[in-house]
Amino acid sequence: MHKIGGYRVGKAFVVGQPGVVGWLKKVSAGSDAYWAEAARERLEVSIEEARAVPDRHRKFIVSPDARERKLEGLPGTVHLKPGELRIEFFGAEDLFRQLYELGQAMGNDYDRFRVLAEGEDV
């Protein structure tokens, strides 16, 4: 739609009437090359839009039960003892996932977390 003079206004895409009429005439001619080009353009626009998404809006995959996680359910790669936290990870997304799950477990099991982190009974 960019080829026929379209542009974005907020989240909407606007195209003038002359552009739409010209486009409809081309489409009614049934050119396979036209449709292939249109599909390629849509793909390019989608790729560019995906690249423009700021990192803070990226989605990360966490286990379905991550929100209910308790300290006993954390993976063996998370090591917590008084005054020390160590996490073994295999890339940024793995570290993010483990930190998220640790945060959930700390909130869901705070008394146990405090004992493990401080080394004394609450």
Helix, strand, or coil here: 71? helix
Q: Which structure tokens are listed for 94? A: 């793995």
The domain ranges of the chain are 2-54, 66-118
| Confidence at residue 34, expressed as pLDDT on a 0 to 100 scale | 64
CA distances from 100 to 82, 90, 120 (A): 20, 15, 25
| pLDDT (tens place) for every residue of the chain, 122 residues total | 566 667 777 777 777 777 777 777 776 666 666 666 666 677 677 767 766 666 666 667 777 888 888 999 888 999 999 989 999 999 888 898 899 899 999 999 899 999 999 987 65
